Structures are given as structure tokens and as C-alpha cells.
Copies of this chain bind each other. A is one copy, B any other.
Amino acid sequence: MAEVGHWVADALTATLPAQWTVPQVLKDAMDYSLQAGGKRLRPLLVIAACEALGGSREAALPVAAAIEMVHTYSLIHDDLPAMDNDDYRRGKLTNHKVYGEAAAILAGDALLTHAFYSVVQASRKFGVPAENVLSIVEDLAEMAGPRGMVGGQVADMEGEQGLTDLHQLQYIHLHKTGDLMIFSLLAGGRIAGADESQLEALRQFGTQIGLAFQIQDDILDLVGDESKLGKKTGSDIKQQKVTYPYFIGLEASREEVKRLTAAARSAVLEGGFQDHTRLLEIADYLMSRDH
């Protein structure tokens, strides 16, 4: 998986066409957060889904880079003083602490916009049919926009004001985190020319690992190892954020992660893919991860 991370990092560096004139500080601010690392989980999902269906990794790269741009923009805006007001992420200063708030807002806007440019390159550079790429554009707008990630973020913000119940928490998890994972899998499938039943299997897989991923996050914030996580634990409690363990307890939360992971595995095993090894590896990794 580390190898895929390098591929994606290279793809991200090369992502602005060389003939474009772009202010240097904007390039720097975009690049700073893109290169700040992280698990590259979403690009990995695009590539894994594409390869599971016999598609080529190269053709998946523009969309893999795009989803990392969308994820990165959401982190930059999330860290702003008006939002979570974080000074550090993954041990590095946040974007606005380095470039100032105005540049950070604009770098986020630029990354979100450029993600759509990158998606289109799957057609321009690798000949993915225009109809498939258009569906990827539509999915991305739906799952990153008001019905998807941004909707989840707004609900999360409202939840911090004490309005959350378990149903609301599930809505937040599904949209704030899950939707981009579902998008990544569907997009990988569409690049490889998946049929409707394969897309549905990918959607099931994504919904379940997305929720499992977020519950595991909640668990790690409660009982994880700070040195492995690279951040302080207990932040949910300090911020009075409600979590899965808060509602159903730590043990039941662990059971829920196991149950969701098993359901995700079934969806993939019955999905009729050429090779589901990588997708199953990802599900197992997400369940057992300690950071």
C-alpha cells in the first residue's frame, strides 16, 4: 500500500498543466497540504476497485488524485479558525498557520475545483468513455457536495451544539466520511466499465467500511496510542463530541466494526469481481488499524 502512496504523491505533484500561469503562493499552498501525507486511503480505494474489475491503474490515477484533492481541501477548510481552529495536522502546521487564512480558503477552493479538472483527464489521457467520466463527475458533485460531505460537515457542526442522537450521528458519519469512500469505489468501478450489479456491490462495500472506519476512529480517540496516532487522544470528550462508544459503549462499538467489516467482505466476495484480494486487504486493514 505504501507503493500506491508514492504513485499518488507523484500524480499530485504533476497535476497542474505546465503551460498554466498560476500564482506561486497558490501552487505552494495547494502543494503543502497535498504533500502533508496521510493514508491516501481514498486513492487506494479508486485503484483497488478499478483493478478488481480488470481496469488499468494508470487510467485510475487522475480520479485517485482528484479524490485526494477533495479530501485535502475539506481538511484545510475544516482546520480554519472559524471551523475547528486547529494549528496542527499530522504533526505539521495547518495550511492557514503557514499561508494565512485568506490563502488557505483559496487553496481549498482551488483544490476542490481542480479535482473536477483532474477527473476529466481520465477521458482525455486514458480514453475512458465520456459517458462514464460524466457519471464520475456527477457522483463526485453529489457525494462531496450539499447531499454528501458538506452536508455531513454542517450536521457535525450543528451536533457540536448538542443536538446529536444516534440517528444524527450515523448521518454525519455516512456523509462526512462515508460518501467520499463510496465515491472512490464507484469511480474505480466506472473507470473499469463496471455493470450495475458490480457498482451496487462496491456501494455496499463502501457504505460498510466507511461506517466501520469512522467507528474505529471514535474508538482510537478513546483508547488509542498517541504516539501511533500522531495526535492527542480524548479530543472527542474534551470537545464534548458524541461518538459511537458514547451511545452504545466501547465493546458494542468494537463488535459493530467487526460486523460491518464482515458484511463488507461478503459484498465484495459476492460482487463478481475478477480479483477481490486488494479490496479484502483494505477491509481487514481498516478494522485492525491502530492509527
Chain B residue with minimal CB distance to A121? Answer: B138
Closest Cβ of chain B to A154, distance in Å, is: 4
8 Å CB contacts to B: which residues of A120-178?
120, 123-124, 129-131, 133-134, 137-138, 140-142, 144-147, 150-151, 153-155, 157-158, 171
Q: Which of B25, B113, B131, B138 contacts A117 (CB 8 A)?
A: B138
Q: Which label, helix, strand, loop or mixed, suits the secondary structure of the A interface? A: helix
Pair A120/B105 contact, Cβ less than 8 Å: no
Please tell me if A287 contacts chain B, counting CB pairs below 8 Å.
no
Q: Given A26-B146, A146-B113, A155-B23, does the pair A105, B82 have CB atoms closer than 8 Å? A: yes
Q: Please indicate the chain B residues that have their CB under 8 angstroms from the CB of A265 in the complex.
A: none
CA gap between A145 and B116 in the complex, in Å: 10
Whole-angstrom distance between the alpha carbons of A124 and B138 in the complex?
10
**A135 closest partner in B (C-beta):** B120
| CB-based closest 3 A-B pairs | A113-B145, A82-B101, A117-B141
Supply 8 A–B pairs (Cβ within 8 Å), ascending by A: A26-B154, A77-B105, A77-B106, A80-B82, A102-B157, A109-B112, A117-B142, A120-B141
